[in-house]
């Protein structure tokens, strides 16, 4: 039985501008998803759902269906100065409702980013099996910044390890809450990615993942929180059927508070999927 205080950490990940290679030997493949191709071949998608798992011999094999859906927010930066945020050219909407719906999502996301940055302080808990990785410059964008997709992949790996350790079964990403990128990660910075389980329902697990960046050689800047997100995982049998999840047992007041917050997010998402009004906190 895993407790909320347990944490998985990949620490550190260095964006090394001097080396043209990357090596990783610490992340186990077994138990990651149940597909060797996903473990050792292509990386899992960022919003990979449990519904996308098709057991061998299933009648749905070969049929086309929606597996992933997400809304992405981007910020334009100057090519000459990556610290300068540019204005976005106006968009012509096909209907007025489209603009209003987008603005509502924007305001909700903006509020959530502010609340998340305020509440997810440093994790002071035991470190479990830290891993080391040296990344090549190919992981950066056309500007000297770490690609968001690379960060998302590492976050998903950490969340997957937390889920697999808790269930001891095959696991798969069911959904990803908003991934908030609070600040940029520059080439050469060392990043630490930490994960902890915050909530369990009967058949799902919520895992909070935090990304901290350390300039290392720049004494003028301290370590800072670069990104955070909540991942939801489900446990699967060998046949691809969902299994009950071992229940998390919060002990400290902070753990109990995070558990209740996770329960609130779970109920809101459940109500949204079922088309019911979201429960008010």
For residue 37, the SS3 value is helix
Segment 104-142, tens digit of pLDDT? 888 877 777 666 655 555 443 433 434 444 444 556 666
The contacts of residue 29 (CB under 8 Å, 6+ apart) are: 36, 39, 40
Domains annotated on the chain, with CATH: 134-275 (3.10.129.10)
> How many of the other CB atoms lie within 10 Å of CB of 91?
8
Of 228, 231, 262, nearest in space to 248 by CA? 262
Burial of 3 (0-12, 13-18, 19+ CB in 10 A): middle
The residue-averaged pLDDT of 35-57 equals: 41
Angle at 211 between CA 209 and CA 217, to 5 degrees: 160
Paired sense of beta strands 242-243 and 128-135, if any: unpaired
Segment 208-258, tens digit of pLDDT? 999 888 887 777 788 889 999 999 999 999 998 999 999 999 999 999 999
197, 233 Cβ separation under 8 angstroms = no
């Amino acid at each position: 039985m895993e407790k909320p205080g347990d944490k998985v950490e990949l620490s550190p990940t260095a964006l090394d501008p001097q080396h043209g290679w990357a090596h990783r030997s610490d992340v186990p493949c077994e138990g990651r998803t149940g597909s060797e191709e996903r473990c050792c071949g292509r990386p899992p998608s960022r919003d990979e759902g449990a519904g996308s798992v098709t057991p061998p011999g299933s009648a749905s094999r070969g049929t086309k269906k929606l597996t992933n859906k997400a809304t992405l927010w981007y910020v334009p930066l100057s090519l000459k100065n990556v610290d300068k945020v540019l204005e976005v050219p106006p968009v012509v909407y096909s209907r007025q409702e489209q603009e209003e719906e987008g603005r509502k999502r924007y305001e909700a996301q903006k509020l959530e980013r502010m609340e998340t940055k305020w509440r997810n302080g440093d994790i002071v808990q035991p470190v479990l099996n830290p891993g080391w990785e040296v990344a090549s410059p190919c992981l950066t964008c056309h500007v000297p910044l770490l690609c968001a997709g690379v960060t998302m992949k590492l976050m998903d790996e950490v969340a997957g390890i937390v889920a697999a350790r808790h269930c001891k079964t095959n696991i798969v990403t069911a959904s990803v809450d908003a991934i908030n990128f609070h600040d940029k990660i520059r080439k050469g910075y060392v990043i630490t990615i930490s994960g902890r389980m915050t909530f369990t329902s009967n058949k799902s697990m919520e895992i909070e993942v935090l990304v901290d960046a350390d300039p290392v050689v720049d004494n003028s800047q301290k370590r800072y929180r670069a990104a955070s997100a909540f991942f939801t995982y489900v446990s699967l049998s060998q046949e691809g059927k969902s299994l009950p999840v071992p229940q998390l047992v919060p002990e400290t007041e902070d753990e109990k508070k995070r558990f209740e917050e996770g329960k609130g997010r779970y109920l809101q998402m459940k109500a949204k999927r079922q088309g019911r009004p979201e429960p008010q906190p």
